[in-house]
């Protein structure tokens, strides 16, 4: 039996509740169409599985008596068919939503599925740029803005992301006073209100000074240093749009985003001999385990170099 057979094979009581659940998700919670389709597909797959698992089309009474073992069997079945951890986690979320909907009406007990943990999600490695790609993005002559001051502004923002490992929000929240004189470091207020000291490389400071020299707006010490074309605080979407234009012009991959420059900062420091604890402090990570992901990136780069360079590879 295919997954599509659920529409025909579902018992009327389940079919009615399924329809009411979808209405609630769409009208009251205003979930996106893609999310609704995914939830519907996940529930359909679950009920098709239960038809085989229980030896008959499940009704509300069967759903009311589900055990954790039934859910584990479903996840194992999906895993055997090639579903990954993310797919399984989403499936569990969709089924849990439906059973909780039934539980609120006294039609099921969701305690079993509520007690289940979603499969552990694999940590995806950051995708840093190469040294030459990152440097190209921080040069104002590579930027495509019509106004020289806008090109200098964009280059200065990206230079701070790469030279200091800043998040885009941290760079755009800088006040003019934060970069007064011949600053050699920056005090950055990051996530959770935590502050950290970040060294300010001369190349990044030079990019900022070039922007300040060309900017047509008066840059008050206590206000945002980076400005939009109308003089207001610069918005992240503007830098993200500029990066998309640069990707096309410079032939960079889609993974070349403003945040990729922060990844590149960490990866290139590690490759150059930086220690993880120092990189953790520079990035403002609360836990060293968050920073350790870059060891995976560096190992991957090392293996790729080995495969290309070794004569017996």
**Does a structural domain hold residue 284?**
no
Considering 88, 114, 140, which residue would you say is the last residue of a domain?
A: 114
Clarify whether residues 136 and 258 are in a common domain. yes
Clarify whether residues 138 and 94 are in a common domain. no
Q: What is the pLDDT of residue 2?
A: 43
pLDDT tens digit sequence for 199-230: 889 999 999 999 999 999 999 999 999 999 99
The separation between the first and the last C-alpha atoms of the chain, rounded to the nearest angstrom, is: 48
Number of domains forming the structure of the chain: 2
Q: What is the pLDDT of residue 205?
A: 93
Reported confidence tier of residue 1, pLDDT bands at 50, 70, 90: very low
The enclosing domain of 38 has a CATH number of 1.10.150.130
Cα–Cα distances (Å) from 13 to 10, 54, 58, 89, 94, in that order, read 8, 17, 10, 27, 19
**Does a structural domain hold residue 283?**
no
Catalytic residue among 44, 78, 153, 167: 167
Reported confidence tier of residue 8, pLDDT bands at 50, 70, 90: very low
Clarify whether residues 204 and 233 are in a common domain. yes
Catalytic residue among 196, 223, 259, 301: 259
Clarify whether residues 53 and 143 are in a common domain. no
**Does a structural domain hold residue 188?**
yes
Helices (runs of H) and strands (runs of E) counted in the chain: 16, 2
Averaged pLDDT of the chain: 83
**Does a structural domain hold residue 212?**
yes
**Does a structural domain hold residue 32?**
yes
Tokens of 289: 């385990």
Is 303 a residue whose pLDDT tops 70? no
Quick one: average pLDDT of 40-62?
88
Clarify whether residues 258 and 137 are in a common domain. yes
Cα–Cα distances (Å) from 182 to 159, 195, 203, 308, in that order, read 17, 21, 12, 43
H/E element, 167: none
The rounded distance, in Å, linking the Cα atoms of 285 and 64 is 44
Reported confidence tier of residue 67, pLDDT bands at 50, 70, 90: confident
The rounded distance, in Å, linking the Cα atoms of 46 and 168 is 42
104 is catalytic: no
**Does a structural domain hold residue 306?**
no
Identify the weakest region by mean pLDDT among 71-80, 115-124, 156-165: 115-124
Clarify whether residues 101 and 135 are in a common domain. no
Clarify whether residues 87 and 210 are in a common domain. no
**Does a structural domain hold residue 81?**
yes
294 is catalytic: yes
The rounded distance, in Å, linking the Cα atoms of 272 and 82 is 39
310 is catalytic: no
Cβ(262)–Cβ(166) below 8 Å? yes
If we measure between CA atoms, which residue out of 180, 186, 221 comes closest to residue 201?
Answer: 186
Tokens of 162: 């790469």
Catalytic residue among 72, 86, 104, 191: 191
> How open is the CA angle 210-214-219, to the nearest 5 degrees?
95
pLDDT tens digit sequence for 81-118: 887 777 888 888 888 888 888 888 888 877 667 666 76
Reported confidence tier of residue 3, pLDDT bands at 50, 70, 90: very low
Considering 114, 148, 183, which residue would you say is the last residue of a domain?
A: 114
Burial of 262 (0-12, 13-18, 19+ CB in 10 A): buried
Clarify whether residues 105 and 142 are in a common domain. no
H/E element, 134: helix 131-137
Cα–Cα distances (Å) from 189 to 50, 172, 197, 207, in that order, read 52, 11, 9, 21
Quick one: average pLDDT of 40-44?
87
The rounded distance, in Å, linking the Cα atoms of 127 and 37 is 30
Cβ(214)–Cβ(154) below 8 Å? no
263 is catalytic: no
pLDDT tens digit sequence for 275-284: 888 888 888 8
Clarify whether residues 104 and 146 are in a common domain. no
**HEC states along 46-96?**
HHHHHHHHHCCCCCHHHHHCCCHHHHHHHHHHHHHCCCCHHHHHHHHHHHH
162 is catalytic: no
Clarify whether residues 101 and 142 are in a common domain. no
pLDDT tens digit sequence for 113-152: 766 676 665 566 668 888 888 898 888 888 878 899 999 9
Q: Which residues pair with 227 in a beta bridge?
A: 233
Catalytic residue among 18, 44, 143, 285: 285
110 or 40, which is more confident = 40
Quick one: average pLDDT of 8-26?
82
Clarify whether residues 162 and 259 are in a common domain. yes
Q: What percentage of residues in the chain have a pLDDT greater than 70?
A: 86
Cβ(229)–Cβ(147) below 8 Å? yes
259 is catalytic: yes
The rounded distance, in Å, linking the Cα atoms of 207 and 201 is 10
Clarify whether residues 151 and 81 are in a common domain. no
Residue 53's domain spans which residues? 3-114
Q: What is the pLDDT of residue 85?
A: 76
Q: 3-state class of 272 per DSSP?
A: coil
Cβ(79)–Cβ(61) below 8 Å? no
């Amino acid at each position: 039996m295919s997954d599509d057979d659920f529409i025909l094979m579902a018992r009327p009581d389940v079919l009615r509740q399924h329809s009411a659940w979808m209405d609630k998700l769409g009208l009251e919670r205003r979930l996106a169409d893609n999310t609704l389709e995914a939830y519907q597909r996940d529930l359909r797959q679950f009920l098709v599985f239960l038809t085989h698992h229980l030896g008959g089309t499940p009704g509300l009474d069967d759903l009311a008596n589900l055990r954790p073992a039934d859910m584990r069997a479903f996840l194992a079945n999906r895993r055997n068919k090639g579903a990954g951890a993310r797919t399984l986690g989403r499936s569990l979320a969709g089924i849990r939503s439906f059973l909780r909907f039934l539980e609120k009406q006294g039609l099921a007990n969701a305690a079993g599925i509520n007690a289940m943990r979603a499969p552990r999600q694999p940590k995806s490695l950051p995708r840093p740029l190469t040294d030459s790609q990152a440097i190209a993005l921080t040069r104002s002559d590579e930027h495509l803005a019509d106004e020289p001051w806008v090109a200098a502004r964009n280059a200065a923002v990206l230079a701070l992301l790469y030279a200091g490992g800043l998040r885009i929000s941290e760079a755009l929240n800088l006040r003019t006073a934060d970069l007064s004189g011949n600053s050699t470091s920056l005090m950055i207020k990051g996530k959770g209100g935590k502050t950290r000291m970040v060294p300010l490389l001369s190349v990044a400071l030079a990019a900022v000074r070039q922007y300040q020299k060309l900017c047509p707006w008066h840059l008050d010490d206590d206000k945002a240093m980076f400005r939009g074309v109308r003089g207001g605080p610069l918005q992240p979407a503007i830098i993200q749009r500029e990066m998309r234009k640069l990707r096309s012009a410079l032939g960079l991959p889609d993974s070349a985003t403003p945040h990729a420059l922060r990844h590149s900062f960490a990866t290139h420091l590690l490759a150059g001999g930086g220690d993880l604890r120092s990189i953790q402090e520079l990035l403002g990570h609360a836990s060293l385990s968050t920073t350790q992901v870059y060891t995976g990136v560096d190992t991957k780069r090392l293996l790729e170099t080995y495969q290309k360079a070794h004569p017996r590879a």
